[in-house]
Amino acid sequence: MLSKGRAGDQIIFLIVMILMGLGLVMVYSASALVAEGSRYQVSSFYFLKKQALYVGLAIIVLLAASAIPYQWWRNKSYVILITSFILLTLVYIPFLGKRAGGALRALKLAGFSFQPAEFAKFALLLYLAHFLTKKSALIADMKAIFLPLCIVFSISLLLILKQPDLGTSVLVVAIAIAMIFAAGARKRHLIGFGLLSLIVFIGMIRIFDYQRQRIEAFLDPWKDPQGAGYHIIQSLSALGAGGWFGLGLGQGIQKRGYLPEAHTDFIFSVIGEELGLVGTLVVLALFAIFIWRGLRISQRSKDPFARSLALGITCLIGLQALINMGVTVHLLPTKGLPLPFVSFGGSSLIISALTAGILLNISQHT
């Protein structure tokens, strides 16, 4: 456990460790048969071994970030932001970019792949926390606050939307609105910023057919049960089959070639089928406690930068978790966002661990 942590530190640290442990178990349960199938033809332990490596790296990152004074990140915010722009651009170089989930969103170097959009989320909230703190006296000034932010966010979001990755873009904008609102911005400015973002997203839905199909599938998944609506129908089937206490660990049916992305975006559905409603409520409760503790740390922080950064990190983890779970239970259109700390994948796991570690360090100064 953390040597200098207070009660808040211990609770968040424990939640993160529980979620990563649960992720290891469920990734193996959801991927063992898929790994041996015709698509991959590898050992049933293939994804488990990779996830175990990611978890090990994530724990190192978590502990290191919790030991680094959070002020250090403020001094590096511009460097990190520019680095995120470069990484997002490198995706479009033919021999570096790699398709993941139907989108050109990953970099492949030395046999390892990394999704720059995950790093960009952290870079943007870090920059935003620094910028809002620096310009706190001018928060009501449209030109001083919103115009610079629109330029920075437009660059990053255009690079992310080009992949295309609408889910990450929606998440980033939601986090930005929450942080700007908490900083004391005028409501009419926030409404204008939100309307502008909404217009852009509507345009993206009209431009890209797959986004429009996702919206149509959300409204009526049975209209195209073998196409756009297939994911959500299989997800609901898994959750419904689980009942109160589930079919038992490893006994799920939908992961056996029926539910796509069972070990990544739809791992919450596998949890529901094998551990039942009780299991899903436990996961929901863990994230709810994480959000509560994160907001508590933000509220108790005396440093405006720490307060803003803690809020951004809490929104990043909390909103992404709620969006992922909302998609699986048919409350939101399919977004392609992983469940933090639980879904298979190194990029999301390590960035989530990094942000959680920073939150732990902030809590040591409250």
Query: How many Å separate Cα 169 from the centre of its chain?
Result: 11
Q: For the chain, where are the E strands, in sequence order? A: 97-100, 103-109, 112-114
Other C-beta atoms lying within 10 Å of the C-beta of residue 146: 19
Supply the pTM of this predicted model: 0.91
Give the Cα-Cα-Cα angle 28, 30, 35 (nearest 5 degrees): 75
Tens-of-pLDDT digits for all 366 residues of the chain? 554 445 457 999 999 999 999 999 999 999 888 887 656 778 888 899 999 999 999 999 999 999 999 999 999 999 999 999 999 998 888 777 776 666 667 887 766 788 889 999 999 999 999 999 988 777 767 677 778 888 888 888 888 888 777 888 889 888 988 898 888 877 777 787 778 777 877 777 776 676 777 787 787 888 878 877 888 999 999 999 989 999 999 888 888 878 888 888 899 999 999 999 999 999 999 999 999 999 999 999 999 999 999 999 999 999 999 999 999 999 988 877 899 999 998 899 999 999 999 999 999 987
DSSP state of 136: G
DSSP per-residue codes, 283-327: HHHHHHHHHHHHHHHHHH-SSHHHHHHHHHHHHHHHHHHHHHHHH
